[in-house]
Structure 1
Amino acid sequence: MRLVRLVTALCTTATLALAGVAPAGAGPGLAGRLVFLDAGHSADGGSTAQVPNGRGGAKDCQTSGTATDGGYPEHTFNWDVTQRVRTELSALGVRTELSRADDSGPAPCIDVRAAAANAAQPDAIVSIHADGGPAGGHGFHVNYSAPPLNAVQGGPAVTLATTMRDSLADAGLTPSTYLGDDGLFARPDLAGLNLAEYPAVLVELGNMRNAEDAAVMTSADGRARYAAAVTSGIVAFLRQSA
């Protein structure tokens, strides 16, 4: 068993190195911490049933998200990257919980996901997405809830967003060229973030409608690079907040 764990850890370190991200390594502030990972959207097309958005309004329960021009769906990209992040965090001793069980059937509504995340009492909540922006724009942005609805959203969530933005940029990824403030974007309309009682961000890793970003997203190596960068951001935040 110890040998299996060692091999897993070495493989994770290799993945981080290939992705251009300095290996986080196990150490103080990681063992036993809990991260709630939300692979955005649903494989079944979603539902237009209205659910609370956290600010007195309502939003669709769930959607299938966007897709590349070649038909690669966002929900599948989100699921793949989330699984990679989970594997890397587990190798570092970080516990994880997921918002959905697979990429083949119905998924919980956004308010149900937020409730599950809060019930887990995690150290961080990270929702993985890809954008469907203008074809001429590319790059990532990290969303956080603003104006804040509680003290966590006004402090730790902004720290998580900034730390994640810095880690993605350090990995060589480009901040969004079409919106956000140097890779950060304050949003009042994202239910999962508005309902969060623990530090939460929603990461749009790139623009699926942009040919350059789409080429990376449809590549296994590209998804590994995204996952390694997200993992690095999570680890950096956990160590800061230890």
Structure 2
Amino acid sequence: MSYEGPEFDPRPSPPSRRGRRALIAALVVALAAAGVAVQRAVGGDGDGAAPAASSGSPDARATPGGSPGAASGSPSVSGTSSPPASSTARPPAKRGPLSGKVVVIDPGHNTGNAAHTAEINRTVRIGNGAKECDTTGTSTDAGYAEAKFTLDVSRRLRALLEQQGATVRLTQDGDRPWGPCIDERARIGNEAKADAVVSVHADGSAAGNRGFHVILPGTVTQGGADTRGIVGPSRELGERIAGNFVRATGSAPSDYVGDGTGLVTREDLGGLNLSKVPKVFIECGNMRNGKDAALLTSAAWRQKAAQGISGGIVGFLRG
């Protein structure tokens, strides 16, 4: 502003001691308020994901070609995990075509898993066998963690579905130090009576392999698991997601699994075996392939990925 004009005194008299104290107090309050505003403005890391920990080695329980194994969830171990507040539904942002529908989004792995190896290495039952509670997931060669990717895409996906009126739950929202285990992840979807569940992942296959694929549940009827009621609707959900993912992202289906269909059926993933509601996994690309990695690390492409998954879910729920 300009300090010129008839109302400006270039030689103001100094304020009294009491006036100086009042001025200082007012300045402190103003600076404190500004500091809060700045902190809120810059508190995120730019893409909405929690700070990444070391991704560790990829899950040895891989798909053909080295895909990380599935994550689903389990109870806390010796009180070391905080309650999964993210499993509580947020109210839908608005009424819309998905009003009354419940969707559970499962961000694969957790950026804190690498610091909690004892917890994630314990085994849990998956119906037809046993697997580790969870894994660290994979990462790009430059160190961008799968767990950071999955949480970012899941948050974007949640926003899109809430705009359609859906009630959305995340199995974890960066709000717990590790996990949840694969059986707990499945249980969150079951207890929510979800109309659809999608577990978001990225693959860690050989560097020459490219593309996305959607993993469907096979028929498993062992050890308390019974997927017979969800195999059919899960396939429909997966087909719709695959088709919309191609249109939204321009990515091609996997060239190393699925015979070009982008669909793979598996019976060794606890998150699918233990589900009682329609559920699929999506491996959005191969983090170890340079071209796929360039997409996965792009915020603009991650938004397209979320749009593709959302489109498939909306199509499935609306019939």
TM-score bracket for the superposition, by shorter chain length: 0.7 to 0.9
For the residues of structure 1 that align with 2:176 and 2:145, how far apart are their CA atoms? 12
Which is strand-richer, 1 or 2? 1
Contact 1:54–1:195 (Cα < 8 Å) also in 2? yes
Question: Pick from 127, 143, 147: which aligns with 2:215?
Answer: 143
**Counterpart residue type for residue 114 of structure 1:** A
Task: Report how far residue 228 of structure 1 moved.
Answer: 0.9
Aligned residue for 1:204, secondary structure, equals strand
- SS of the aligned residue for 1:176 comes to coil
Unmatched runs of 5 consecutive residues or more in structure 1 = 1-25
Alpha-carbon distance between aligned partners in 1 of 2:310 and 2:251, rounded to the nearest angstrom? 14
- Equivalent positions of 1:89-100 (< 5 A) are 89-100=161-172
Once the two structures are superposed, what CA deviation does each residue of 1:180-222 show, in whole Å capped at 9, x if it has no partner?
1410000111100010100000000000000011001111111
- Among 190, 194, 197, the alignment partner of 2:269 is 190
Output the amino acid matched with 1:50.
T
* Aligned position for 2:44: none
State the 1:104 CA deviation. 6.8
Task: Name the CA distance, whole Å, in 1 between partners of 2:175 and 2:251.
Answer: 26
**TM value normalised by structure 1:** 0.84
The answer as to 2:210 corresponding to 1:133 is no
The structure 1 residue matched to 2:126, chosen from 33, 47, 53, is 53
**Which residue of the partner structure matches residue 251 of structure 2?**
173
In the TM superposition, structure 1's runs of 4+ consecutive aligned residues that sit over 4 Å from their partners are none
1:76 aligned partner = 148
1:35 maps to a residue whose letter is V
Q: Does structure 1 retain, via aligned residues, the 8 Å contact 2:210–2:285?
A: yes
Moved more, 142-151 or 221-230: 142-151
Higher Cα Rg, which structure: 2
Do 1:43 and 1:103's aligned partners in 2 also have CA atoms closer than 8 Å? no
Task: Give the distance between the partners of 1:87 and 1:139, measured in 2 at CA.
Answer: 25
1:161 aligns with 2:238: yes
Matched-pair contact (CA < 8 Å) for 1:75–1:103: no
Question: Residues 4-153 of structure 1: matches in 2 within 5 Å?
Answer: 28=97, 30-44=98-112, 45=114, 46=117, 47-55=120-128, 57-102=129-174, 105-148=177-220, 149-153=226-230
- Identity, % of aligned positions: 44
Unaligned runs of 5+ in 2: 1-94, 221-225
> Which segment is superposed worse, 92-101 or 120-129?
92-101
User: TM-score, normalising length from structure 2?
Assistant: 0.64
Cα deviation, 1:125-144, whole Å, max 9, x if unaligned, reads 10000000111111100001
Q: For residue 52 of structure 1, report the CA deviation from its aligned partner.
A: 1.0
Helix, strand or coil at the partner of 2:200: strand
* 1:224-239 alignment runs, 5 A limit: 224-239=303-318
Q: CA 1:31–1:130 in structure 2 vs 1: closer, same or farther (change >3 Å)?
A: same
Q: More deviation in 116-125 or 44-53?
A: 44-53
Partners of 1:175 and 1:236 lie apart in 2 by 19
User: Cα offset for 1:101?
Assistant: 2.8
d(CA) in 1 for partners of 2:287 and 2:297? Answer: 9
> Which gives a bigger RCO, structure 1 or 2 (Cα 8 Å, sep 6+)?
1
Q: What SS does structure 2 have at the residue aligned with 1:143?
A: strand
| Structure 1 residue 117, shift from structure 2 partner | 1.1
Measured after TM superposition, the shift of residue 224 of structure 1 is 0.8
- Name whichever of 176-185 and 104-113 sits farther off: 104-113
Question: What is the one-letter code of the residue matched to 2:287?
Answer: M
The letter for the 1-side match of 2:234 is: A
Q: Which amino acid aligns with 1:141?
A: H
Deviation digits for residues 87-128 of structure 1 (CA, Å, limit 9, x no counterpart): 111111011011013177212111011111100001001000
Structure ranking higher in helix proportion: 1
